[in-house]
Amino acid sequence: MHTVHQSRGDKLFDAAGFLILLVALVTVAYPLYFIVIASFSNPSAVSLGEVILLPKGITLEGYSRIVAQSDLWIGYRNTIAYTIIGTFLNVALTVTGAYALSRKDLVGRNVFMGFIAFTMFFSGGLIPTYLLIKGLGLYNTFWVMVIPGAISVWNLIIARTYFQTSLPEELWEAAVMDGCSNFQYFFKVVLPLSQAIIAVLVLFYAVGHWNEFFNGLIYLKDRSRYPLQLILRDILIQTQISQDQVQNENANKLAEAANLMKYGIIIVSSLPVLILYPFIQKYFVKGVMVGAIKG
């Protein structure tokens, strides 16, 4: 077996590349690691900067304070509902729309695509959108967290590119010769062959719904409909207000508890995604690469 011998320059280049990647890894990973160990550490040790590599004075005080908030479970319930129903609607509309726009026999498809792409760069603004939401009767309803963002133009373009480059025209011609209609072809041929892009869309939309807070902040006034992110935000605000109102010897302890809760809240809000990501990472990579090679 032939062995390739590296020159000194090649070895130095590899070593420099490895060092740069190592520094980048530490820069990105350490803040995440610090949040985890700080959430379990004594708040005084965190405030004094004594927590660096390992937790110190392990405590669950921050998590116990968070879990004690009854609204937390309401936020989880709402966010799970928004994510499941919203993702289903997103994927259904995106896949059907992208397939239609990918068909060469659709008259004016480039014009339609131009109008759709226009919305990526220009919008009516917050106030007109707010008035539209109220006019449609969506304000302070469950559907205001689902319908306004039902289709992401970027995801629509990704799916359209996938259909154009991955489904040969000969497949459609063969299906027509067998007496297949447009609907039969879509449901019996296109969807089974598009599991990869559907998985990508599900992941992209689900993560977006899980992290969504802006629509809830603007269009929801009933606390019982708040998503998880807004509930966690309110917990932090309430803790900060209480901290500002206390002007005695307990102020420092309350400030430390508030800082500890911040780390715990980050973990609580990110935990589902952190658990799922190792299993779905390949789909995220595939989603980024769809259309990048053939398109």
Q: Which residue has the higher pLDDT, 264 or 248?
A: 264
Q: Say whether pLDDT at 287 is over 70.
A: no
Answer whether CATH 1.10.3720.10 is correct for domain 63-295. yes
The per-residue pLDDT for range 39-78, each reduced to its tens digit, is: 888 777 777 778 888 888 787 877 887 777 778 888 888 9
Q: In the structure encoding, which two tokens stand for residue 235, read together?
A: 């917990």
Q: Say whether pLDDT at 139 is over 70.
A: yes
Q: Look at residue 295 in the predicted model and tell me its pLDDT.
A: 43
pLDDT more than 90, % of the chain: 15
Confidence of residue 293 (pLDDT cuts 50, 70, 90): very low
CB 97 within 8 A of CB 151: yes
The per-residue pLDDT for range 183-212, each reduced to its tens digit, is: 888 888 888 888 888 888 888 898 889 888
Q: Say whether pLDDT at 281 is over 70.
A: no
Q: Which residue has the higher pLDDT, 242 or 45?
A: 45
Of 44, 292, 28, give the one whose Cα is nearest residue 166.
292
Of 226, 146, 162, give the one whose Cα is nearest residue 199.
162
Q: Look at residue 179 in the predicted model and tell me its pLDDT.
A: 81
Per-domain residue ranges of the chain = 1-59, 63-295
As a whole number of angstroms, the distance between CA 214 and CA 164 comes to 34
Q: Look at residue 146 in the predicted model and tell me its pLDDT.
A: 92
Q: Say whether pLDDT at 4 is over 90.
A: no
| Mean local confidence (pLDDT), 141-151 | 91
CB 56 within 8 A of CB 41: yes
Quickly tell me which residue has 């304070």 as its tokens.
65
Helix, coil or strand: residue 90: helix
The per-residue pLDDT for range 155-178, each reduced to its tens digit, is: 999 889 888 888 888 888 888 888
Q: Say whether pLDDT at 257 is over 70.
A: no
Q: Say whether pLDDT at 250 is over 60.
A: no
The per-residue pLDDT for range 71-107, each reduced to its tens digit, is: 888 888 899 999 999 999 999 999 999 998 888 888 8
